Amino acid sequence: QKNLHLLTAEQIELAKILLETGQSHLFEHWAEPGGDDEEKKAFLDQVTRLNSSYPGGLASYIKTARELLADSKDGKNPFDGFTPSVPTGETLTFGDDSFISFEEAGVKEARKAAFVLVAGGLGERLGYNGIKLALPRETTTGTCFLQYYIESILALQDANSKLSPPGESQTKIPLVIMTSDDTHSRTLELLESNSYFGMEPTQVKLLKQEKVACLDDNDARLAVDPRNKYRIQTKPHGHGDVHSLLYSSGLLNIWREAGLRWVLFFQDTNGLLFNGIPAALGVSFTRQYHVNSLAVPRKAKDAIGGITRLTHADGRTMVINVEYNQLDPLLRATGYPDGDANSETGYSPFPGNINQLILELGPYIEELTKTGGAIKEFVNPKYKDASKTSFKSSTRLECMMQDYPKTLPPTARVGFTVMEPWLAYAPVKNNPEDAAKVPKGNPYHSATSGEMLVYRANSLILRKAGVQVADPEQQVFNGQEVEVWPRITWKPKWAITFTGIKSKVSGSCSISQRSTLVTKGRNVFINDHSLDGALIIDPADDAEVKVEGSVQNKGWVLEPVDYKDTSVPEELRIRGFRINKIEQLEKN
């Protein structure tokens, strides 16, 4: 009461809400009136932010927290009443006729697409100190993930413009990046210091997610920040925030008015993503999916969720990601005694969610208009003991972007598209020590594998296009045994579809295992060429270049580095090798 003069009318209402929802402890340690006024105001400013950034405000957050904490205390199974089964979706084989026609349809649809990159996470599992978007996708060219993503979107834009009738204005595909306090300024700096990697700055929008209030006990008492008694402790709420942020930004309606039809969500470190995007967008278009999740065959126990059909005893059914830690108990409780296990194919029968979603904009807006973008949340408190009455440390509500379909009506068309494991998924998530402990045969998801899988995919794609690419050699880096294929890379503008690649290589071409081939130009045509060494082709943007004949030199060699050797830059240490550029032919 005695501090009311410090507050705006809105803040007085908020303070009342806090008192009515059992949060009076937040004010108990306040200095006498007249003391710490600036801190008190800053506290209410923080409360205002926490209130406005959560759909339904703090009262709703506290109410949901109480319900979820009670369910967690009672050990309630979130899948109670649901039986899992293997869903059916579209399974693609790279390069066959149906893949090529889905790619064609996808490239046409790209003019109606907007891309949304969730990049608010710091990647604690990776143990890297920078933002993950700035990590090199591969170290042959040093291209970082953000550059690869932007150049791929620009390549799609470019491919699409060639299809549009002359005189029609050129498509500009929008890109939204969700950041957080942990990543915002460094993401902006990466964009600005690189001229947005060729994208027009107006095409790119950054939306920053806010953290949510931490909870101290089962009554959902908000936690006082241990570092400042005039602040509430906060933690990240998860990538599910992207939906409410997009909704409140107003962008969705702007996109609809501009004639857009698709929103594509993707994550911060998948160096193979765009190998699958055109075809998957073609699947969304052809099958008229409201929701299309990209998936890969999943090894049992792999730390990616499984796409599952859940059927409730009351008849409700949905196709949804079941997170990796929940899949095994769910299966065991519902008649699969072996739990999360591989079938005779060597893979789990449940496709692996790679968290790249394609949503149809119209139905998406319709749904968010009802929900405000709120996503079904969960809570994961670490209890002190079996009485489940107190926590080891404060907890908070969390949400995941792939849980969006949970609130959809049964009429919604929810599907998925399975890509071959080598083609479209190579994330960088695990630190070297954890990666080395991954069960044999399961993917490492490390910086080492992330880079090696790019070379592997590019080699296999060129093989499919008729190039004789030599077999890989096995090598061990950072305790992980990997296949080392020729280090082949190209800029997305060289080709973004299989048809594009086939139009650029012809005749009898071969590449030896120890080779490096870097193709930077748009109009580079490789014909009757053999490479045994390193060849770098870097022409002025649109110059036409013909690569023919044979090239042989000492080439570029991978040299192991010890990830504990702090004299080596962190982005090299985490992959366990560096490239020694001994000799190359460079054509500019």
Q: Which stretch binds ligand UGB (CB under 6 A): 309-317, 348-356, 525-533, 544-552?
A: 348-356
Which class for 463: exposed (0-12), middle (13-18), buried (19 or more C-beta within 10 A)?
middle
- Residue 118 as a binder of ligand UGB (CB under 6 A): the answer is yes
**Shortest distance, position 268 Cβ to ligand UGB, whole Å:** 3
**Shortest distance, position 217 Cβ to ligand UGB, whole Å:** 23
DSSP code of 52? Answer: H
Amino acid 275 reads: N
Q: At 196, is the secondary structure helix, strand, or coil?
A: helix
**Shortest distance, position 179 Cβ to ligand UGB, whole Å:** 8
Please enumerate in sequence order all residues whose Cβ is within 8 A of that of 333, keeping only pairs 6 or more positions apart, or say none: 77
Query: What Rg, from alpha-carbon coordinates, does the chain have?
Result: 26
- Residue 431 as a binder of ligand UGB (CB under 6 A): the answer is no
Please say which residue, 40 or 239, places its beta carbon nearer to ligand UGB: 239
For helices 97-109 and 145-163, angle between their N-to-C axes, nearest 10 degrees: 90
Please enumerate in sequence order all residues whose Cβ is within 8 A of that of 423, keeping only pairs 6 or more positions apart, or say none: 94, 272, 275, 276, 457, 460
- Residue 276 as a binder of ligand UGB (CB under 6 A): the answer is no
**Shortest distance, position 227 Cβ to ligand UGB, whole Å:** 21
In the structure encoding, which two tokens stand for residue 106, read together?
A: 């996808």
Q: At 442, is the secondary structure helix, strand, or coil?
A: coil
- Residue 450 as a binder of ligand UGB (CB under 6 A): the answer is no
- Residue 278 as a binder of ligand UGB (CB under 6 A): the answer is no
| Sites for ligand UGB among residues 166-205 (CB under 6 A) | 178, 180
- Alpha helix (H) ranges present in 348-484? 361-371, 421-424, 432-436, 447-464
**Shortest distance, position 433 Cβ to ligand UGB, whole Å:** 17
Which listed residue (87, 238, 351, 415) binds ligand UGB by CB under 6 A? 238
Do residues 95 and 464 touch, judged by C-beta distance below 8 A? yes
What is the C-alpha to C-alpha distance for residues 278 and 423, in angstroms, rounded to an integer?
A: 13
Which listed residue (151, 210, 268, 571) binds ligand UGB by CB under 6 A? 268
**Shortest distance, position 354 Cβ to ligand UGB, whole Å:** 5
- Residue 296 as a binder of ligand UGB (CB under 6 A): the answer is no
Please enumerate in sequence order all residues whose Cβ is within 8 A of that of 295, keeping only pairs 6 or more positions apart, or say none: 89, 307, 351, 352, 353, 354, 416, 417, 418, 419
Which listed residue (304, 327, 460, 462) binds ligand UGB by CB under 6 A? 304
Which listed residue (95, 276, 282, 305) binds ligand UGB by CB under 6 A? 305
Please say which residue, 288 or 442, places its beta carbon nearer to ligand UGB: 442
Give how many residues touch ligand UGB by CB under 6 A: 21
Please say which residue, 355 or 489, places its beta carbon nearer to ligand UGB: 355
Which region, left, alpha or beta, applies to residue 109 given φ > 0 means left and ψ of -120 to 50 means alpha? alpha
**Shortest distance, position 239 Cβ to ligand UGB, whole Å:** 4
What is the C-alpha to C-alpha distance for residues 16 and 61, in angstroms, rounded to an integer?
A: 15
Please say which residue, 379 or 579, places its beta carbon nearer to ligand UGB: 379
- Residue 236 as a binder of ligand UGB (CB under 6 A): the answer is yes
Please say which residue, 111 or 208, places its beta carbon nearer to ligand UGB: 208
- Residue 400 as a binder of ligand UGB (CB under 6 A): the answer is yes
Do residues 462 and 486 touch, judged by C-beta distance below 8 A? no
- Residue 353 as a binder of ligand UGB (CB under 6 A): the answer is yes
User: x/- string (CB under 6 A) for ligand UGB, residues 354-373?
Assistant: xx------------------
**Shortest distance, position 574 Cβ to ligand UGB, whole Å:** 15
Q: At 257, is the secondary structure helix, strand, or coil?
A: helix
Please say which residue, 378 or 498, places its beta carbon nearer to ligand UGB: 378
- Residue 271 as a binder of ligand UGB (CB under 6 A): the answer is no
User: x/- string (CB under 6 A) for ligand UGB, residues 315-344?
Assistant: ------x-x---------------------
**Shortest distance, position 447 Cβ to ligand UGB, whole Å:** 13
Do residues 331 and 84 touch, judged by C-beta distance below 8 A? yes
What is the C-alpha to C-alpha distance for residues 166 and 457, in angstroms, rounded to an integer?
A: 35
The pair phi, psi for residue 316, each rounded to 5°, is -60, 145
Q: Which of 241, 225, 271, 205 is nearest to 121 (CA)?
A: 241
In the structure encoding, which two tokens stand for residue 265, read together?
A: 């969500």
Please say which residue, 132 or 520, places its beta carbon nearer to ligand UGB: 132
Please say which residue, 149 or 563, places its beta carbon nearer to ligand UGB: 149
Do residues 206 and 187 touch, judged by C-beta distance below 8 A? yes
- Residue 280 as a binder of ligand UGB (CB under 6 A): the answer is no
User: x/- string (CB under 6 A) for ligand UGB, residues 119-148?
Assistant: xxx---------------------------
Q: How many separate helices (H) and strands (E) can be counted in the chain?
A: 17, 30
Residues near ligand UGB, by CB under 6 A:
118-121, 178, 180, 236, 238-239, 267-268, 304-305, 321, 323, 353-355, 400, 427, 429
